[in-house]
């Protein structure tokens, strides 16, 4: 995976309060926090957006 340890140390789960560190799982394709929240890694970059922001807008942004 392309995620550097330095970047990984800075990442925190946005859904946890207080934010908790994220660890790579599933062969480095997913980041997961201690509470079980998981975020996909897209081309080496973590996608930390909440699920409601990941959902495509209705009738918009269609490729």
Q: Which spans of this chain sit near Zn ion (rule: CB under 5 A)?
A: 13, 15-16, 33, 35, 37
Identify which of residues 1 and 35 has a Cβ nearer to Zn ion in the complex: 35
Q: Which residues of 1-63 form beta strands (DSSP E)?
A: 22-25, 30-33, 38-42, 45-46
The alpha carbon torsion through 6, 25, 50, 59 (nearest 10 deg) reads 120
Which C-beta is closer to Zn ion: that of 44 or that of 50?
Answer: 50
Tell the smallest beta-carbon distance from residue 51 to Zn ion (Å): 13
Q: Which is nearer to Zn ion, 3 or 37 (CB)?
A: 37
């Amino acid at each position: 995976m392309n995620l550097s340890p330095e970047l990984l140390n800075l990442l925190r789960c946005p859904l946890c309060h207080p934010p908790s560190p994220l660890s790579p799982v599933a062969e480095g394709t997913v980041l997961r926090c201690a509470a079980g929240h998981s975020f996909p890694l897209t081309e080496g970059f973590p996608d930390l957006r909440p699920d409601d922001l990941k959902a495509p807008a209705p009738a918009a942004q269609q490729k």
